Amino acid sequence: MTEFDEALTAFAAEVGTDGPVCVRGGGTRWSLGGEVAPGTREVQAPEGIVAFEPAEMTVRVRAGTPVAGLHEELAGDGQRTALPERAGGTVGGALMAGESSIACLGLGPVRDVLLQARYVCADGRIASAGAGTVKNVSGFDLCRLLVGSLGTLGLVGEVLLRTFPVGETERWVRLAGTDPGAVRSCYTAASVLWDSTDVWILLSGYAVDVDDDLSRLAALGACEDVDGPPELPPHRWACTPAEAAAFDARNGAAGPFVAEIGVGVVHASQPQPFRPVESGVVELNRRFKERFDPTGRLNPGRDPLRKP
Amino acid sequence: MARTLADATRRVLGSRRRGDRAAAVPGADDTDAALVADLVEAIGADRVRADAAARYLASRDASIYKEGNAGPVCYPGSTSDVVECVKVATRHARAVSPRGAGTGLAGGAAPLGQPVVLSMTRMDRLLEIDLDNGVAWVQPGMVNLDLSRALAPHGVHYAPDPSSQAACTIGGNVANNSGGPHCLAYGVTSAHVLAVEVVMSDASVVTLGDLTAEPAGYDLRGAFVGSEGMCGIATAVAVRLTRNPPAVRTMLLSFDDVSDAATTVSAIIAAGIVPAAIEMMDQRCVTAVEDFAQAGYPRDAAAVLLVEVDGPAGGVAIAGERVADIARRNQAISVRTAADDDERARLWKGRKSAFGAVANVMPDYYLHDTVVPRTRLVEVLERIYEIVDRHDLIVLNVFHAGDGNLHPILAYDSRVPGTGERVQAAGREIIEMSLDMGGALTGEHGIGVEKREYMNRMFSAVDLDQQSRLRASFDPHCRMNPGKVLPSAHSCSDIGALRASDAAGVWG
Amino acid sequence: MHLGLDDDELVACVACGLCLPHCPTFVITGRDTESPRGRIALMRAVQNEGAPVTDDLIRSMETCVQCRGCETACPSAVPFGHLMEGTRAALAGAGRITPRWQRLALRTLRHRRLLLAGSTLLALAIRLRLVPTKRLGLPARMPLRRPPLRTSGDDVWLFTGCVMDAWQRDVHLAVQRVLEAAGAGVEPTGGAAPCCGALHIHAGLEAETKAMARRVMDGLSGDDRPILVDAAGCGASLKDYGHLLGTDEARAFSARVFDVHEWLAERLVELRSRRPVDPLDVTVAVQDPCHLRHVQRAHQAVPAVLAPFVADVVALDDDGLCCGAGGAYSVMEAELSRAIRDRKTAAVARSGATVVASANPGCSLHLAAAGLDVRHPLELVDQALSASRS
């Protein structure tokens, strides 16, 4: 058990013990899961990197720290996290939204990035979940529960994240008029995006392997270097990988889209129609909220069941 | 019908002939007879055992904890059998404890308070391979290695590979959030389970998680994995399929000094290389393993590292060379690369039989599973040898060095008076030292009953209160595998289910 | 009840569970009571903790096939076979297992003439359809007449045993021809060594087994010729006399015993150099008898010897899991035995082979009763040799 640092205790004091309260990060996904109830007090999580240990491949960082700034710091040692970079987006915001980077295929999902969380509970006390190591199964897995919870169970102040070495070579390429399934033979593909005609691929790894995959792609069709991924339409659809790969045929209502092949997320022009959730799951969500935040003061109005 | 049922119940409870005193079977009183009759009626006589031998064996796992006390043992064949068992147990105010292959090392499967034990071994089918979604649906009793074997024709595998993978079940892996050597690069069970069908404590059936990347609502799947059977009974699991890597290189690095091996581990990670696995064994362990596996481990080295890199061929060659360079710079006395799949398989067989092979040294062992920052391995190992020497014990070190997950095995002979106390004392010191280094209590074996009372050392009262809320959200009445994980002050106080569990006689 | 088990052997199990997937009864039932680890725990409970010997505990011991597949899987080298034999001896001694009729039946095996005559009667009864062969796991046809055994030299003994000699003498003759083709003069043991005692030790009849072992040793003493065995169960039994009797003489005797494939694998050059051989046009699946694979650990000799004489030898993918025959097990525990066999026949079907080679008569009868074409490996070799001879 550790003493919590000043920034964290100050954050807890600010959150206090009663009254509705919400945390503002970069505001990039502010409306996810519903608008915050009117009259809710707004607080901000502390900011700053506490400790980066490249040889441990972990970084301890405060939740209010912008992801881009964090990654800049980590890049000095050739590392990064699996968190997505959005203009102004914070570490805490990315974790609470729970939406993975478009390079999820290579980096893994956001839900696996959180090793330890120090957060303010509904009663204003600070709890610590997880451990300071890269592996841990001591007790129940509150870290997994917190990711994607939109700050409705606890307000995260400081976290320990897993980091990864950045690939020796990273290249975005575009392949015109290809079946995205054919691209899956590329082992170094960290992202495969498909808009029903073209395929964008992020190759990441040792140069020699990336070159191998490039020649594999070139055999499939016209392949050109591009600066990055295509512009993503604003609405995020939750699909299975099979649904994403067959997206075009089934969803005229989505408008122009970009599908993450092998992952399942589809970025569409129109919002996703409601996907029914089984009643047992709804009931469990209700029980979790009730147990962790009996008075409903944490981020009132938000509900992870209403994502995306 | 009534008569048949009575006959079946008598059969299930065990014969009363030849003075096999019913009284010698604790709990096999009238209450149990009614419970057993209901279980038999619900799922059939051939799926229920309540005799002393069956209950004795269902009371233990592979840990040294021997105080478990099973009620009737059921072998459900379907989700609806599980539902029926939970209903019957609830009607009789009994808890339910699930059980896989019983290879756990922390007493997680040791039932407390004579619950109805659900042995999931009969639900061992592979339900579906869904290559389009990259998942397979399996029943919880399926053996981990059987799953990967069944997947092999499709060029994919199930990545978490605990050392007990030849015997342990997927359900048990889910309960413990099991790890294994290859979790260094691929992640533990939680990262490979997409959805779980669960029978809840109220006998309802709920699917947690789904095949989409980000299911709506809280990550109940993530909260369930690793909950040691206390949040419900998994009856079907959707596991992620991992592509077989195009190339694999397995290297055996030998050292004259344990510290050199440990330094090499930290240096590999610090160089930005994430091998698929980095395993370490010290000399005593190598000797025990080699006696069984004859894998060609060098008996004269003070420590060996088993390092595997995988991925596309080019990168594997580069990473392999870098690892070899780092090892040589750290005084490796030999660097050997497995020539073929056969040699590779033998090396891994040796590593994975290490716990069992300890019996070649001493008849009993007690091990911990703490995790320490991998940059502090040298220091930690020195401390472990010092602690063990001071308590006049023998230690074999074999562990997942790459992620700092220690397995110091204290080998002893429980028949020698006073040894048990020394083993406990040394174990406690190892745990406290690991936690003081910024470590964790357990990396993959779970808390079970064995490490329950250490939870206070790692977590504050507030932390534990949060954990018990997670548990209570799933199971408000503490009916599922009660008495595990949380220290007594934080577990359910309302344990009508946790009846007095005094073991009466050896068949307790 | 003290089971008379060696305490060091009994404590050697650390309950790791690696034996479970290699135990045919656990694989079928999924119950700890039918697993090696569970059985050992129960032995301990009885011997060390004074637990009562209940009928259920006895069932747990009786359902063990004694295949010893757990031994090869055990990293702690627990001698499970010894523990189970010791337990059964104690239980049989207390009259808790092996009923009187079974003891009587086993006693006939020691009396060669009685056995041969009885077998002829049985063969006749089968011809007349007086015996439900399928239900009893008996072969659908048995020889009414047996060609005589003959001696061709004094290089090696060929151990002929009891039931196998009565029911499958053709196999002995084929084996003898193959040995002769490899240049050895063969003397069949016949009445000199009537029965190895394997079934008796399985049934817990320790004293009888010891007497039979002494008789076999007496019959084959006087020289130090290798004793070749074409039945894996008998070979394992003879090789264990050293441990069973614990005398130097018995250990020296056991050292003379070889499985016939083990011996031939060293002499493949001689066997093949006599004349060119056309391999038989069959795909053969090799079934590893447990007493060859787990006890003698000599199973790799079978495909080595067989390969040059058939088109293709395929291995089964079931890790050498027992076929469920287990000597008298297929009769005593018919239901479990058949369930275990079903897994084996499924493995054979997966292999695509049309013929199964089994180096143990018990396995071969048991598998043949499931409708498989089962041959002794050396019958196939003999067939290939004689085809080229003609």
Cα(C190)–Cα(C254) distance, integer angstroms: 19
Res. B41 pLDDT band, cuts 50 70 90: very high
Res. B21 pLDDT band, cuts 50 70 90: very low
Domain boundaries, chain C: 7-93, 108-264, 276-389
User: Beta strands A235-238 and A199-205: pairing type?
Assistant: unpaired
The pLDDT of residue B133 is: 97
The pLDDT of residue B488 is: 78
Cα(C360)–Cα(C371) distance, integer angstroms: 17
Residue B95 and residue B497 in contact, taking contact as beta carbons nearer than 8 Å: yes
Q: What is the DSSP letter of C168?
A: -
Residue B124 and residue B139 in contact, taking contact as beta carbons nearer than 8 Å: yes
- Check CB contact under 8 Å for B373 and A144: no
Does A250 touch chain B if contact means CB atoms closer than 8 Å?
no
Residue B178 and residue B168 in contact, taking contact as beta carbons nearer than 8 Å: yes
Residues in chain B: 508
Of A1, A245, A285, the CB nearest to B218: A285
- Check CB contact under 8 Å for A127 and B442: no
Closest residue, chain C, to B508 (C-alpha) = C51
The answer to whether residue C223 scores a pLDDT higher than 70 is: yes
Neighbour tally for A215: CB within 10 Å = 9
Indicate the residue type of B339: A
Residues in chain A with CB shorter than 8 Å from the CB of B441 are 131, 136, 138
Closest residue, chain B, to A277 (C-alpha) = B216
- Check CB contact under 8 Å for B219 and A100: no
Residues in chain C with CB shorter than 8 Å from the CB of B506 are 45, 49-51
Interface of A with B in 42-101 (CB under 8 A): 53-57, 78-79, 98-100
Q: Could you give the angle at the alpha carbon of B96 between the alpha carbons of B91 and B98, nearest 5°?
A: 150
- Nearest-Cα distance to chain B for C351, in Å, is 15
Residues in chain A with CB shorter than 8 Å from the CB of B443 are 133, 135-137
Return the partners of chain A (3 or more C-beta pairs < 8 Å).
B
Beta bridge partners of B117: B73, B97
Does A167 touch chain B if contact means CB atoms closer than 8 Å?
no
Residue B211 and residue A241 in contact, taking contact as beta carbons nearer than 8 Å: yes
Interface of C with B in 54-73 (CB under 8 A): 54-57, 60, 73
Residues in chain B with CB shorter than 8 Å from the CB of C17 are 62, 101-103, 164, 167-168
Residues in chain B with CB shorter than 8 Å from the CB of A265 are 213-214
The answer to whether residue C99 scores a pLDDT higher than 90 is: no
- Check CB contact under 8 Å for B442 and A307: no
Mean pLDDT of the region B460-468: 97
Which tokens in the block code for residue B413?
A: 């002979």
The pLDDT of residue B504 is: 37
Fold of C7-93: Fumarate Reductase Iron-sulfur Protein; Chain B, domain 2 (1.10.1060)
Res. B506 pLDDT band, cuts 50 70 90: very low
The answer to whether residue B3 scores a pLDDT higher than 80 is: no
Closest residue, chain A, to B218 (C-alpha) = A149
Res. B4 pLDDT band, cuts 50 70 90: low
Per-residue pLDDT of C266-275, as tens digits, reads: 998 888 877 7
- Tell me what percent of the residues of chain B surpass a pLDDT of 70: 90
- Nearest-Cα distance to chain A for B309, in Å, is 13
User: Beta strands A223-226 and A199-205: pairing type?
Assistant: unpaired
> Do B and C share at least 3 CB pairs under 8 Å?
yes
* ipTM for the assembly: 0.97
Of the residues A135, A141, A142, A306, the best mutation for testing chain B's interface (the one with the most B CB atoms within 10 Å of its CB) is A135
Residues in chain A with CB shorter than 8 Å from the CB of B375 are 53, 55-56
Residues in chain C with CB shorter than 8 Å from the CB of B354 are 75
Q: What is residue A89's three-state secondary structure?
A: coil
Res. C387 pLDDT band, cuts 50 70 90: confident
Residues in chain B with CB shorter than 8 Å from the CB of A287 are 473-474, 476
Residue B483 and residue B449 in contact, taking contact as beta carbons nearer than 8 Å: yes
Per-residue pLDDT of A16-28, as tens digits, reads: 999 999 999 999 9
Of C16, C45, C51, the CB nearest to B356: C16
Fold of B2-122: 3.30.43
The CATH class given to the C276-389 domain equals alpha beta
- Check CB contact under 8 Å for A205 and B447: no
The answer to whether residue C145 scores a pLDDT higher than 90 is: no
The answer to whether residue B462 scores a pLDDT higher than 80 is: yes
Classify the phi-psi angles of B331: left when phi > 0, otherwise alpha if psi is within -120 to 50, otherwise beta: left
Per-residue pLDDT of C115-129, as tens digits, reads: 888 888 888 888 888
Residues in chain A with CB shorter than 8 Å from the CB of B465 are 127
Residues in chain A with CB shorter than 8 Å from the CB of B191 are 108, 112
Res. C103 pLDDT band, cuts 50 70 90: confident
Per-residue pLDDT of A16-59, as tens digits, reads: 999 999 999 999 999 999 999 999 999 999 999 999 999 999 99
- Check CB contact under 8 Å for B141 and C30: yes
Of the residues B118, B121, B365, the best mutation for testing chain C's interface (the one with the most C CB atoms within 10 Å of its CB) is B121
* Run of H or E including C229: strand C227-229
Q: Could you give the angle at the alpha carbon of C363 between the alpha carbons of C362 and C369, nearest 5°?
A: 95
Of B58, B141, B164, the CB nearest to C18: B164
Residue C282 and residue C384 in contact, taking contact as beta carbons nearer than 8 Å: no
Mean pLDDT of the region A88-108: 96
Tell me the HSE value of A46 on the side-chain side, using a 13 A CA sphere.
Answer: 24
Mean pLDDT of the region C49-62: 95
Which tokens in the block code for residue A161?
A: 């994240």
Dihedral angle at the C-alpha atoms of B448, B452, B457, B463, nearest 10 degrees? 80
Q: What is residue C153's three-state secondary structure?
A: coil
Res. B27 pLDDT band, cuts 50 70 90: very low
- From first CA to last CA, the distance across chain B in angstroms is 32
Per-residue pLDDT of C176-208, as tens digits, reads: 999 999 999 999 999 899 999 999 998 899 999
Of A53, A139, A275, the CB nearest to B216: A275
Among B56-60, B169-173, B255-259, C10-14, which stretch is predicted with the lowest mean pLDDT? Answer: C10-14
Cα(C296)–Cα(B40) distance, integer angstroms: 44
Task: Judge residue C319's burial from the number of C-beta atoms within 10 Å of its C-beta, 0-12 exposed, 13-18 middle, 19 or more buried.
Answer: middle
Domain boundaries, chain B: 2-122, 362-452, 453-507
Residues in chain C with CB shorter than 8 Å from the CB of B293 are 75
Res. B492 pLDDT band, cuts 50 70 90: low
- Nearest-Cα distance to chain B for C358, in Å, is 26
Cα(C1)–Cα(C7) distance, integer angstroms: 14
Which tokens in the block code for residue B134?
A: 């990259």
Residues in chain B with CB shorter than 8 Å from the CB of A214 are none
Cα(C138)–Cα(B219) distance, integer angstroms: 59
User: Beta strands A79-80 and B96-99: pairing type?
Assistant: unpaired
Which tokens in the block code for residue B339?
A: 């020539």
The pLDDT of residue A1 is: 53
Per-residue pLDDT of C301-318, as tens digits, reads: 999 999 999 999 999 999
- Tell me what percent of the residues of chain A surpass a pLDDT of 90: 86
Residues in chain B with CB shorter than 8 Å from the CB of C54 are 14-15, 20, 51-53
Return the partners of chain C (3 or more C-beta pairs < 8 Å).
B
Residues in chain A with CB shorter than 8 Å from the CB of B268 are none
Cα(C96)–Cα(C89) distance, integer angstroms: 10
For residues B299-320, one letter each, b for 16 or more C-beta atoms within 10 angstroms of the residue's C-beta and e for the rest, the string is eebbbbbbbbbbbbbbbbbbbb
Closest residue, chain C, to B166 (C-alpha) = C18
Q: Which position has the token pair 């994502």?
A: A307
Mean pLDDT (chain C) is 92
Mean pLDDT (chain B) is 91
Of B226, B266, B463, the CB nearest to A129: B463
- Tell me what percent of the residues of chain C surpass a pLDDT of 90: 74
The answer to whether residue B25 scores a pLDDT higher than 50 is: no
Of the residues C6, C16, C350, the best mutation for testing chain B's interface (the one with the most B CB atoms within 10 Å of its CB) is C16
Look at B437 and B23; give whichever has higher pLDDT: B437
- Tell me what percent of the residues of chain C surpass a pLDDT of 70: 98
Kindly list the distances between the CA atom of residue A115 and the CA atoms of A9, A130, B180, C119, C149, in Å, as whole numbers in the listed order.
Answer: 20, 6, 18, 73, 76
Mean pLDDT of the region B165-181: 97
The pLDDT of residue A2 is: 62
- CATH 3.50.50.60 matches B362-452: no
Q: Could you give the angle at the alpha carbon of C272 between the alpha carbons of C269 and C275, nearest 5°?
A: 135
CB pairs under 8 A between B and C: 131
Of the residues A53, A136, A288, the best mutation for testing chain B's interface (the one with the most B CB atoms within 10 Å of its CB) is A136
Residue C53 and residue B144 in contact, taking contact as beta carbons nearer than 8 Å: no
- Going along chain A from its start, the domains and CATH numbers come out as 6-165 (3.30.465.10), 169-268 (3.30.70)
- Check CB contact under 8 Å for B54 and C12: no
The pLDDT of residue B6 is: 58
- Check CB contact under 8 Å for C14 and B356: yes
Mean pLDDT of the region C48-76: 95
Mean pLDDT of the region C150-171: 92
